[in-house]
Structures are given as structure tokens and as C-alpha cells.
Structure 1
């Protein structure tokens, strides 16, 4: 019998493309404080961090109460946009993502999970909107952990599933995901279609792929290289 393997996915920028709502929501959060919004590149550069960590990075000159108001304004705007469009339009899957997820979920010794900067409420809404509530055995969200790249999400997922670090891999689009994997002692696969430049992932990733259909073979290579 094969050993259990854990495949942990980041969400935004890895499984789904939610950049439209992310940028619009951040713009509204800044406008609520009478500020010009950061550039698209700056906003996407903090995706993956918890909002409480991301907001001071984008607006370093403000005090904590202002950052707290902006976090709440962002959340309210994001919920409004998602409710208006539905998850499948506001956060569509990247090409072939759902097919590959179904393929991986059909392998008996693979366990799927997520480790995301989303809140519990945000992740629940996304998964329900895509009909994926039961897809992921372990679901780690920002409500219960320090922000990435702290390894808490990964370590908790390993504990919940009973999988050893050498049998786990993180799939993500940001340097925060790759650094989190390294800190937790698990392997890291970067994806080149997300919000950080592929070259920023290379120093921390075991490999970077550019087509979702290449993921199963890349996962196999990562684990074969350990033996």
C-alpha cells in the first residue's frame, strides 16, 4: 500500500483568478480613507499575505486604526462583488484546474488540502460557489494562523492528516507560498500563471510549471527525486 501524500494548494492566483475583485476591493478600501489606490503590481504583490499584514505594507504611513478600517472596507467590498457576480465569475478557475483537481482526487493515496490567506468565510463561499465543499480534506485559512510565510498552516495540515513532511508538497503562485513550504520542511512547486513573477519563485521552488496539465507529472518528479 502506498504512503499517504498531501498536496496543499494556495487558492488565489493558483487555483482561481480573483485579481479583478482583489484590485477593485483594495481600491475601495483606499478610497474610503481618501487615498489613491496602489498600482496593480503592488496590490497583486501582497496577495497571499493575511490582510492584517498586507495592508500596512501597502499603506505604511497610516496608523493601526486606519489599517483596521481598510481591512474591513476591503472585506465588505469583496463580499459585495462576489455576491453580485457569483464565485464562478468573480473567481474563475484557471484553465484545466478543475480537471486536474478531479484527477488528483481520484488517486487513493493522495490527500488534497488548501492553505490560503483567505478567511474562513471567504473560502467557504468560494468552495460552495464552485461546488467543491468536499474536495479538500484539510483547509487552513488566515483566521487561525499567522500570515504566510509562517509555516503554521502547513504544520497544522500535516498534523490533521498524519502525513510526514517528506510526503507533502505546496502548490502556489507566490514567493510567500514557496518560503512557507521551506519553513515547514515540505517540497514546493510554483505556478507561473499567478500573481508573482515566475523568476521570483525559482530561488525557493523545486520546480515552476506553466500549464496546469503539467502538475501531476511535476508532483511525481518531486517525490521521485527524494528516493
Structure 2
């Protein structure tokens, strides 16, 4: 089985940090304030798409300034790194030991994902990964389709695990099963319309599935 994981809000407890850094970037550029819940609502999208969603009427020429400001604040905050949610590390290692393939499909940039993987000594842990700046942003299914092709796995032998409706929508668009987590950026009510095969409250519940 191929398990494809979203990163922020699914594996890593980073949604508060992401929302806070986005709010700092917005304030830096003098844009209208957005609440923490509004900032969390766009987690999972690529950065340009996230800014466009938060500010539908924004001049597109300003979007790179916002994304650059966000990235500066996020990197500056690396001195207080985020941790995995409880039991994530142990569950991932057990899934690998059982012979499953593990991949990441994230709205992070490639540079951002590589940095956090290096910081957590996980550079060579996952079998594959796709980031929003090297393919289409969620909920487009392209990154999942690319991972399936790269790892030579049929869609029927894969499952997407995520905390946002962008994750589960991407899986639905790819014809892939999905599992939602209840503890991330989006409410369970936002996940259910995509018909996940299961909603889990604790990461270790993955071991009970399938």
C-alpha cells in the first residue's frame, strides 16, 4: 500500500505557526487583517493560491511580495521548530517496517520541505514527495498522479491522508481513497463531503485501517 501524507496539520503540528506567519506577512504589507481561522483555512494550498484565496481582489502583482514576506517570517521562526503530532514518528516507522510505501504531497515549497526534512533527519525517509511549487496546487490531482507514476503504484493501492478539504478533494479528483484527520486545520464538516473512507482522531488509528 502507498500512503500519501499531507505534511502541515497532518504529520506536523504547525498550523498555528503557519497562520501566525501569514498574519505577520499581511501586517508587514499593510493588507487588511485576516483572523487566525481565516489564515488556517488556506493551509494546504500553494502559497500564491493561498494569498489569492485570502484576498480575491488583490492585485496579482503583489502576490509575490506576500509570499516572500511569509517565507521570511516562517524561516525566521525556525528557531522554535514544530514537532510531529503524538505517535506520528512511531506509526510511520511501523508502516515502513510492514513494507508500505510512504510519500508526501504538500502545499509547502520544495525548499521548505527539504529544509524541514533535513532538520528532522528525514531526508531519505520517504519514498517520494511532491510540493506545490513544482506541480499543480491542491486540489488538482497532478501531484498524486505523478507520485503514482513515479512509484509504479495503481490508484487502487494508494490512500491519501490529510487534514484539509484540499487534501481530500485532491484525492477524490485522482480517484484515490482518502483518510481525514480531525485534529488539523479544517473541521470534520469540511472533510466529509469528499467521502473519506475514515476520519481518525489519533494518528495511530492508521494502523487499524485496511
Q: Residues of 2 paired with 1:209 and 1:131: CA distance?
A: 27
Q: Residues of 1 paired with 2:57 and 2:144: CA distance?
A: 32
Q: Residues of 1 paired with 2:33 and 2:106: CA distance?
A: 24
TM-score normalised by structure 2 residue count: 0.96
Deviation sequence 1:170-223 (CA, Å, 0-9, x none): 0000011111011111110000110000121112111101011111212x1xxx
Q: Residues of 2 paired with 1:194 and 1:171: CA distance?
A: 11
Question: Which 4+ runs in 1 deviate beyond 6 A?
Answer: none
Does structure 2 retain, via aligned residues, the 8 Å contact 1:26–1:37?
Answer: no
Alignment of 1:16-95 (within 5 A): 16-82=12-78, 84-85=79-80, 90-95=81-86
Structure 1 gap ranges (5+) = 221-227
Deviation sequence 1:27-85 (CA, Å, 0-9, x none): 12111221343111111110000011010111223201222210111011111111x22
TM-score normalised by structure 1 residue count: 0.89
Out of 126, 132, 137, the residue aligned to residue 136 of structure 1 is 126
Q: From the CA coordinates, give the structure whose radius of gyration is larger.
A: 1
Aligned to 2:183: 193
Provide the aligned length of Structure 1 versus Structure 2.
209
User: What do you get for the CA RMSD once the two structures are aligned?
Assistant: 1.1
Aligned to 2:199: 208
Q: Residues of 2 paired with 1:154 and 1:165: CA distance?
A: 9
Structure 2 gap ranges (5+) = none
Does structure 2 retain, via aligned residues, the 8 Å contact 1:48–1:176?
Answer: yes
Most deviating of 18-27 and 66-75: 18-27
Does structure 1 retain, via aligned residues, the 8 Å contact 2:23–2:39?
Answer: no
